[in-house]
Structure 1
């Protein structure tokens, strides 16, 4: 029982903790935006503590400038709708405590009817509750809170725009290169299976490893999409857009290679026998697989030897195919077709 409770507690702790910290620069920017929003709203609007301005600043500072703009719009629209709704309800029904619950329910229904985004939908009832809880029934108060929110959101957006806006290119670079490296290793494993006897357990292991390429491809696509988002509206982004476009193109080729390598690995597992490596063409296929792995590393600038970039791609020799054993023609034909597509992707301009 005690062990179960410890595991349960650990699971809940993991739910509330992130796998890594946000960059300290973002913490600084959030703090600067919150402080600036407080003093600006206090100077320009005054009357009450500028809570709405600070909340807007805290929400709007995001990992990218593009996300900050989106959150600024969501926060502003949500606050405008919520404050107007709360003010109208307060003027019609007074300031009884049950009015807050009515406002919350109406806010949720209104957001649903308008098909608003999740962030905007959340802001409407929150803003309505805050206005009613603070006892505001005047249109002037509503206008001030809207102006305060827009001011806080604008300040946070400008802070995120001007203070070293993030360029999230390194995760995209790393994910693309790791994917290409793992594809190269899969090609080399196939080369070994094509040139020498390997056990059934090794082939099963190859199939398990090649299935991991799909999640790696998905992570690389997410990383590239995140990098693209970080460059939008970013004055530091123009110098990186060419490199990012290259990663976009790379993912198209790597996606094809993932499919082909998975197909070759499955074919080898399904049709392999210990006499397959005696076929002359299989030794040629093994050599082509190693060339493909070499060329893949060069094309995507991976952890190759320092002089690898000087050697250039390895030339492909024509394959001479004699009539294979009747038990082997399926695997040989399938491997040749997949290998042809692999070389097409690696030699494409």
Structure 2
């Protein structure tokens, strides 16, 4: 993970340097007296994903246009003091707010007004150069972002998903071990803490998967990974369902343990169910060397089907309330996994 983060930062450094150099030279080529405005846009518009860069670029362009329209024609007729500047910013910001534009547009409006207010008196072409150079910087930044090492967080999502499935598999295995070996030792609270930690990782993985999906928008080389991310999303939904399951049954098991009514048959069956589900989540599809490795094979699917059949037919409980509750929740989960 650290290696991937380093590679991502290295790519950003190269993109920023190359795009800044190109945009400066293009700005000079079209006759700008303020070519530094183009690389400023490059630096600001290179965001984590291409989609974010495009949205930020749009906000910057709109904010710049509003700021120039409002202040460029007025600045030469107004006194240069803080009160006038404040009134111009107030007017421009309220226009952006009235148009229901993003907060970042308001910032760009204010920034443009400040710069126009400062430099337009010294250089009559500053407002024109700012709009042209901003556009040049935006276009160069987006093109470089798209075609030079475009961001793709698919592998990062795969690693996070693989880690999460291993964590879930371990919790299920511990639940099975609690029932079969450590019953009566009140392991419920320890497992509940691990379930809470798993929930935090689940939210983190959802965020990473969302970023990975967004990173493929406008990525000309990312089409082959769309199906992978769809698979990851389905597997993540299964894990989320399983989180609901283990959160429910651990409460049932704690109450069951207090009663102490656990027959050897119940012990064996419940432990087997949990071990099988543990193996299922320990064998999920993940990205390995750019390809989808085989997981959740037919044998595993058949075993889950067999478990469903066993739960339906085993209707003679050792202790009805807790056993029925456990089997009901397990059956609901299996329907979501198959």
Fold shared per TM-score above 0.5:
yes
Return the alpha-carbon distance in structure 1 between the equivalents of residues 69 and 118 of structure 2: 14
Given the alignment of the two structures, is residue 339 of structure 1 paired with residue 326 of structure 2, yes or no?
Answer: no
- Report the equivalent of 1:130: 115
Q: Is 1:249 aligned with 2:249?
A: no
Describe the SS at the equivalent of 2:53. Answer: helix
TM value normalised by structure 2? 0.86
Q: State the distance in 2 between where 1:288 and 1:114 align.
A: 58
Instruction: Say if 1:86 and 1:129, in contact at 8 Å, map to a contact too.
Output: no
Aligned to 1:75: 60
**Structure 1 position 189, deviation (Å):** 1.5
Shift, 1:86, TM fit: 1.8
How far 1:97 moved relative to its partner? 5.1
The one of 95, 111, 117 equivalent to 2:102 is: 117
Task: Give the equivalent residue in structure 2 for 1:54.
Answer: 39
> SS at the partner of 2:91?
helix
Partner of 2:17: 31
CA distance in 1, matches of 2:156, 2:295: 24
C-alpha distance after superposition, 1:228-258 (max 9, x if no partner): 1111110111111111110121122221111
TM-superposition CA deviations, 1:66-91 (whole Å, max 9, x none)? 12211211111111111222213314
Q: How far 1:40 sits from its partner (Å)?
A: 1.2
Q: Specify which of 186, 189, 192 is matched with residue 174 of structure 2.
A: 189
CA RMSD of aligned residues (A): 2.6
Q: 2:284 aligns with which of 299, 303, 311?
A: 299
Query: How many residues are aligned here?
Result: 322
Cα 1:112–1:311, aligned 2, differ >3 Å: closer, same or farther? closer
Quote the offset at 1:200 in angstroms. 5.0
Q: Deviations over 1:162-191 (max 9, x none)?
A: 212111112211222222222211211111
Counterpart-to-counterpart distance in 1, 2:317 and 2:80: 91
Q: Is the 8 A contact 1:298 1:312 kept in 2?
A: no
**Distance 1:189-1:113 versus aligned 2 partners, 3 A rule:** same
Correspondence for 1:324 = 318
Give, in whole Å, the separation in 1 of the partners of 2:286 and 2:275: 17
Q: What displacement does 1:307 show?
A: 11
Which aligned pairs between 1:84-233 and structure 2 lie closer than 5 A? 84-96=69-81, 98-136=83-121, 141-198=126-183, 201-233=186-218
TM-score by length of 1: 0.83
Gaps of 5+ in 1: 1-19
Specify whether residues 269 and 164 from structure 1 end up closer, same or farther in structure 2 by C-alpha distance, changes over 3 A only.
same
1:312 matched residue in structure 2: 299
Name the SS for the 2:17 alignment partner. Answer: helix
Deviation for aligned residue 1:323 = 3.6
**Corresponding residue for residue 41 of structure 1:** 27
Superposition deviation, residue 311 in structure 1: 8.4
Over 6 Å off, 4+ runs: 306-311
Distance change >3 Å, CA 114–CA 302, structure 1 → 2 = closer
- 2: CA distance, partners of 1:194 / 1:322: 19
CA contact (8 A) 1:45 1:148 kept: no
Q: Distance in 1 between matches of 2:105 and 2:278?
A: 49
After superposition, give the CA deviation of every residue in 1:183-222 in whole Å (9 maximum; x if it has no partner): 2112111111222334555211111111222222211111
Cα 1:200–1:84 change in 2 (3 A) is farther
